[in-house]
Amino acid sequence: MPFKRQEATTTRNVFLVGLMGAGKTSVGKLLAKDLRSRFVDCDQEIERRTGVPISVIFDIEGEEGFRRRETAVLRELVQLQGVVLATGGGAVVRPENREMLSKSGFVVYLRATVDELWQRTRHDRNRPLLATGDPRQRLAELFTQRDPLYCDVADITIDTGGQGLRTLVNQLEQRLREYVPQEPA
Protein backbone atom coordinates (compact mmCIF):
# COMPACT_ATOMS: atom_id res chain seq x y z
CA MET A 1 0.00 0.00 0.00
CA PRO A 2 1.65 3.27 -1.06
CA PHE A 3 1.79 6.27 1.24
CA LYS A 4 -1.24 8.41 0.39
CA ARG A 5 0.21 11.81 1.16
CA GLN A 6 3.91 11.71 0.37
CA GLU A 7 4.35 15.44 0.99
CA ALA A 8 3.23 14.99 4.60
CA THR A 9 6.23 12.85 5.47
CA THR A 10 8.55 15.85 5.48
CA THR A 11 7.05 17.07 8.77
CA ARG A 12 7.94 13.82 10.57
CA ASN A 13 4.66 14.12 12.47
CA VAL A 14 2.70 11.02 13.45
CA PHE A 15 -0.97 11.50 14.24
CA LEU A 16 -2.83 8.73 16.08
CA VAL A 17 -6.56 8.38 15.51
CA GLY A 18 -9.06 5.87 16.84
CA LEU A 19 -11.91 5.46 19.27
CA MET A 20 -11.60 6.00 22.99
CA GLY A 21 -9.75 3.09 24.51
CA ALA A 22 -7.83 2.26 21.33
CA GLY A 23 -4.53 3.13 23.00
CA LYS A 24 -3.68 6.47 21.40
CA THR A 25 -2.16 7.96 24.56
CA SER A 26 -0.33 4.83 25.73
CA VAL A 27 1.03 4.04 22.27
CA GLY A 28 1.78 7.69 21.58
CA LYS A 29 3.89 8.19 24.69
CA LEU A 30 6.02 5.12 24.05
CA LEU A 31 6.31 5.81 20.32
CA ALA A 32 7.40 9.41 20.97
CA LYS A 33 10.03 8.21 23.41
CA ASP A 34 11.38 5.69 20.91
CA LEU A 35 11.39 8.27 18.10
CA ARG A 36 12.86 10.95 20.37
CA SER A 37 9.88 13.10 19.50
CA ARG A 38 7.55 15.23 21.56
CA PHE A 39 4.27 13.62 22.60
CA VAL A 40 1.12 15.76 22.62
CA ASP A 41 -2.37 14.63 23.61
CA CYS A 42 -5.01 16.87 22.04
CA ASP A 43 -7.60 16.24 24.77
CA GLN A 44 -5.06 16.98 27.51
CA GLU A 45 -4.08 20.17 25.71
CA ILE A 46 -7.73 21.28 25.59
CA GLU A 47 -8.06 20.57 29.32
CA ARG A 48 -4.83 22.46 30.05
CA ARG A 49 -5.99 25.50 28.08
CA THR A 50 -9.50 25.60 29.52
CA GLY A 51 -8.60 24.54 33.05
CA VAL A 52 -11.48 22.06 33.19
CA PRO A 53 -12.02 18.40 32.26
CA ILE A 54 -13.54 17.61 28.87
CA SER A 55 -16.66 16.32 30.62
CA VAL A 56 -17.27 19.84 31.98
CA ILE A 57 -16.92 21.33 28.50
CA PHE A 58 -19.48 18.80 27.25
CA ASP A 59 -21.82 19.67 30.15
CA ILE A 60 -21.61 23.42 29.50
CA GLU A 61 -21.13 23.68 25.74
CA GLY A 62 -22.34 20.33 24.47
CA GLU A 63 -20.54 18.18 21.96
CA GLU A 64 -20.66 20.85 19.25
CA GLY A 65 -18.98 23.40 21.53
CA PHE A 66 -16.30 20.90 22.39
CA ARG A 67 -15.75 20.05 18.70
CA ARG A 68 -15.21 23.75 17.90
CA ARG A 69 -12.56 23.96 20.62
CA GLU A 70 -11.00 20.72 19.42
CA THR A 71 -10.69 22.00 15.85
CA ALA A 72 -9.09 25.25 17.01
CA VAL A 73 -6.50 23.42 19.13
CA LEU A 74 -5.87 20.81 16.44
CA ARG A 75 -5.24 23.61 13.91
CA GLU A 76 -2.34 24.77 16.11
CA LEU A 77 -1.00 21.33 17.01
CA VAL A 78 -0.68 20.07 13.43
CA GLN A 79 1.66 23.00 12.73
CA LEU A 80 4.22 21.62 15.18
CA GLN A 81 7.16 19.68 13.75
CA GLY A 82 8.34 16.26 14.84
CA VAL A 83 5.47 15.37 17.17
CA VAL A 84 3.49 12.28 17.97
CA LEU A 85 -0.05 13.53 18.47
CA ALA A 86 -2.88 11.57 20.07
CA THR A 87 -6.10 13.05 18.74
CA GLY A 88 -9.42 12.85 20.51
CA GLY A 89 -11.59 9.96 19.38
CA GLY A 90 -14.05 12.26 17.63
CA ALA A 91 -11.54 14.54 15.92
CA VAL A 92 -12.20 12.79 12.60
CA VAL A 93 -15.89 13.72 12.64
CA ARG A 94 -15.19 17.15 11.15
CA PRO A 95 -13.97 17.07 7.53
CA GLU A 96 -11.63 20.02 8.14
CA ASN A 97 -9.88 18.04 10.89
CA ARG A 98 -9.36 15.06 8.61
CA GLU A 99 -7.93 17.37 5.98
CA MET A 100 -5.55 19.03 8.47
CA LEU A 101 -4.31 15.67 9.69
CA SER A 102 -3.83 14.32 6.17
CA LYS A 103 -1.85 17.33 5.01
CA SER A 104 0.32 17.70 8.09
CA GLY A 105 1.63 14.25 8.95
CA PHE A 106 1.41 10.51 8.82
CA VAL A 107 -1.94 9.26 10.16
CA VAL A 108 -2.16 5.96 12.02
CA TYR A 109 -5.51 4.40 12.89
CA LEU A 110 -5.28 2.34 16.08
CA ARG A 111 -8.17 -0.05 15.63
CA ALA A 112 -9.78 -2.31 18.20
CA THR A 113 -13.02 -4.25 18.29
CA VAL A 114 -16.00 -2.90 20.18
CA ASP A 115 -15.56 -5.64 22.80
CA GLU A 116 -11.90 -4.67 23.33
CA LEU A 117 -12.79 -0.97 23.54
CA TRP A 118 -15.58 -1.73 26.01
CA GLN A 119 -13.23 -3.73 28.25
CA ARG A 120 -10.76 -0.83 28.26
CA THR A 121 -13.28 1.97 28.90
CA ARG A 122 -16.10 0.45 30.94
CA HIS A 123 -14.83 1.71 34.32
CA ASP A 124 -13.75 5.14 33.09
CA ARG A 125 -16.20 7.80 34.26
CA ASN A 126 -14.49 10.58 32.26
CA ARG A 127 -15.98 9.60 28.91
CA PRO A 128 -18.91 11.98 28.30
CA LEU A 129 -20.09 10.17 25.17
CA LEU A 130 -20.48 6.97 27.20
CA ALA A 131 -22.56 8.62 29.93
CA THR A 132 -25.73 6.92 28.69
CA GLY A 133 -28.05 4.15 29.82
CA ASP A 134 -26.26 1.65 27.55
CA PRO A 135 -22.64 2.77 27.14
CA ARG A 136 -21.56 -0.40 25.33
CA GLN A 137 -24.27 0.13 22.71
CA ARG A 138 -23.19 3.77 22.36
CA LEU A 139 -19.59 2.62 21.82
CA ALA A 140 -20.81 0.24 19.10
CA GLU A 141 -22.70 3.12 17.43
CA LEU A 142 -19.61 5.34 17.56
CA PHE A 143 -17.53 2.54 16.03
CA THR A 144 -20.04 2.14 13.18
CA GLN A 145 -20.10 5.90 12.53
CA ARG A 146 -16.38 6.60 12.84
CA ASP A 147 -14.60 3.49 11.55
CA PRO A 148 -15.06 4.55 7.89
CA LEU A 149 -13.72 8.03 8.74
CA TYR A 150 -10.66 6.61 10.50
CA CYS A 151 -10.03 4.27 7.57
CA ASP A 152 -10.38 7.14 5.10
CA VAL A 153 -7.87 9.43 6.83
CA ALA A 154 -5.35 6.76 7.86
CA ASP A 155 -2.16 6.01 6.00
CA ILE A 156 -1.95 2.74 7.92
CA THR A 157 -4.18 0.83 10.30
CA ILE A 158 -2.81 -1.13 13.24
CA ASP A 159 -4.95 -3.66 15.12
CA THR A 160 -4.39 -3.01 18.84
CA GLY A 161 -6.08 -6.14 20.15
CA GLY A 162 -4.38 -9.15 21.65
CA GLN A 163 -0.86 -7.80 21.94
CA GLY A 164 1.18 -5.97 24.52
CA LEU A 165 2.05 -2.29 24.30
CA ARG A 166 5.74 -2.87 23.43
CA THR A 167 4.84 -5.34 20.67
CA LEU A 168 2.26 -2.93 19.29
CA VAL A 169 4.71 -0.01 19.24
CA ASN A 170 7.42 -2.17 17.63
CA GLN A 171 4.94 -3.18 14.92
CA LEU A 172 3.99 0.47 14.37
CA GLU A 173 7.64 1.54 14.17
CA GLN A 174 8.29 -1.14 11.53
CA ARG A 175 5.32 0.06 9.49
CA LEU A 176 6.49 3.67 9.79
CA ARG A 177 9.95 2.71 8.51
CA GLU A 178 8.29 1.22 5.44
CA TYR A 179 6.50 4.45 4.56
CA VAL A 180 8.30 7.40 6.11
CA PRO A 181 11.70 8.36 4.71
CA GLN A 182 14.43 8.19 7.33
CA GLU A 183 16.74 11.10 8.00
CA PRO A 184 20.30 10.52 6.77
CA ALA A 185 22.66 9.09 9.41
Residues 11-29 pLDDT 10s: 589 999 999 889 999 999 9
Answer whether residue 6 is part of any domain: no
Quickly state the pLDDT bin for 52 (edges 50, 70, 90): very high
- The answer to whether position 3 is within a domain reads no
Name the amino acid, one letter, at 45: E
114 contacts 138 by C-beta, under 8 angstroms:
no
Residue 2 falls within a domain, yes or no?
no
Is the model's pLDDT at 10 over the cut of 50? no
Q: Is residue 97 part of a domain?
A: yes
d(CA 91, CA 19) in angstroms, rounded, equals 10
3-state SS assignment for residue 15 = strand
Handedness of CA 6, 17, 138, 65 (dihedral sign): negative
- Domain with 78 in it: 12-175
pTM: 0.88
Residue 133 lies in a domain: yes
Q: Is residue 92 part of a domain?
A: yes
107 domain-assigned: yes
The domain total for the chain is: 1
* Residue 184: inside a domain: no
Q: For residue 58, give the CATH number of its domain.
A: 3.40.50.300
User: Per residue in 55-74, pLDDT tens?
Assistant: 899 889 998 999 999 999 99
Residue 94 burial (10 A CB sphere; 0-12, 13-18, 19+): middle
* Residue type at position 33: K
Find out whether 153 and 94 touch, Cβ atoms under 8 Å.
no
What's the pLDDT score for residue 111?
Answer: 95
Percent of the chain with pLDDT over 70: 86
